[in-house]
Amino acid sequence: MSLSKEDFIRLHQKGKDLRKLIVDTTFWAGSAHIGGAMSMLDMMVMLYHKYLNIDPADPEKTDRDRFVLSKGHAGVGHAAVLADLGFFDREWLKEFNLTGSNLGIHLDRNKVPGVDISTGSLGHGLSISLGLALGARRQEAGWKTWCILGDGEMNEGSVWEAAMAINHYRATNLITIVDRNRCMIDGETESIMGLDPLEDKLAAFGFDVLSIDGHDLNAIDAAFTHAVHAKERPVCIVANTVKGKSIDFMEDDYTWHYGGIDSDKVELCKSSIENYYRNILN
């Protein structure tokens, strides 16, 4: 089943606005992990604007769904989403990375409303997500935990410890998403430390694996709907994405894992984003 036309337009419009906000924040911050923020953004839009039960006016409400950004370096993308929703003042984004700011590269849950878990060191988020999921089950709470991992971080052994345990405990109230942009700091994932066949490995651990185009909102929506209804096996969505998506000169270029943009580049980024969405929405 596809998204309604209204949702399709609404979510893409939101994606366009957020991508521009990430560009602005990267400019204000001087530099940021813009590539990985752009690759995961369509999942973030779908989560925060269709799936998550959250309330910006009550960020700690007990029955909220939990979200764990295990690839914590993409905090610039998460911060833009939260600011846009009103979890905190958008002006904070202008102080991203500045000394004494509430917002740094890796978001701190004690400083940033809407952030459930402080992340940054790779390979930690999935274990914490499992703890949240088991905690919800123990307390007979209906909320779900969503976790986005980077594909590079799948090199960490602790991710596979967590994968083993998620399936041992059949934590179907935890939904795992891998942002498979195939890039890491030093190069392409398959050249630095090969992960393929990633889907087969995850399936061997017991996951119900869905491999999707991570920029196709209909595919994301279908996968998320499947995941929230999982009863037997925990779902892992491998979202095949493009690093730097929507910004033509960054796309699929691993060197844009982290970078700075000047005011000229800001305009180039925004016009590329405009073009990208014009093609989708027309």
Q: Which parts of this chain interact with other proteins (CB under 8 A)? A: 62, 66, 108-110, 116-118, 120-121, 123-124, 126-136, 138-139, 141, 145, 157-158, 161-162, 164-165, 168-169
**Nearer of residues 162 and 184 to other proteins, judged by Cβ:** 162
In the complex, minimum distance from the CB of residue 275 to other proteins, in angstroms, rounded to a whole number: 40
Smallest distance, Å, CB 39 to other proteins?
A: 24
**Inter-residue contact 129 to 174 (CB < 8 Å):** yes
In the complex, the smallest distance separating the C-beta of residue 66 from other proteins, rounded to whole angstroms, is: 8
Alpha helix stretches (DSSP H) within the chain: 5-29, 34-46, 75-85, 125-138, 157-168, 189-192, 198-204, 217-228, 263-281
131/259 with CB nearer other proteins? 131
| Nearer CB in complex with other proteins: 119/211 | 119
The string of DSSP letters for 12-63 reads HHHHHHHHHHHHHHHHHHS-B-HHHHHHHHHHHHHIIIII----TT-TT-TT
Read off the DSSP letter of residue 259: B
Beta bridge mates, 145: 66, 174
Nearer to other proteins (CB atom), residue 41 or residue 107: 107
Q: Which is nearer to other proteins, 108 or 253 (CB)?
A: 108
Minimum distance from residue 147 beta carbon to other proteins (Å): 10
In residues, how long is the chain?
Answer: 282
CB of 122 to other proteins, least distance (A): 11
Phi, psi of 161 (to 5 degrees): -60, -45
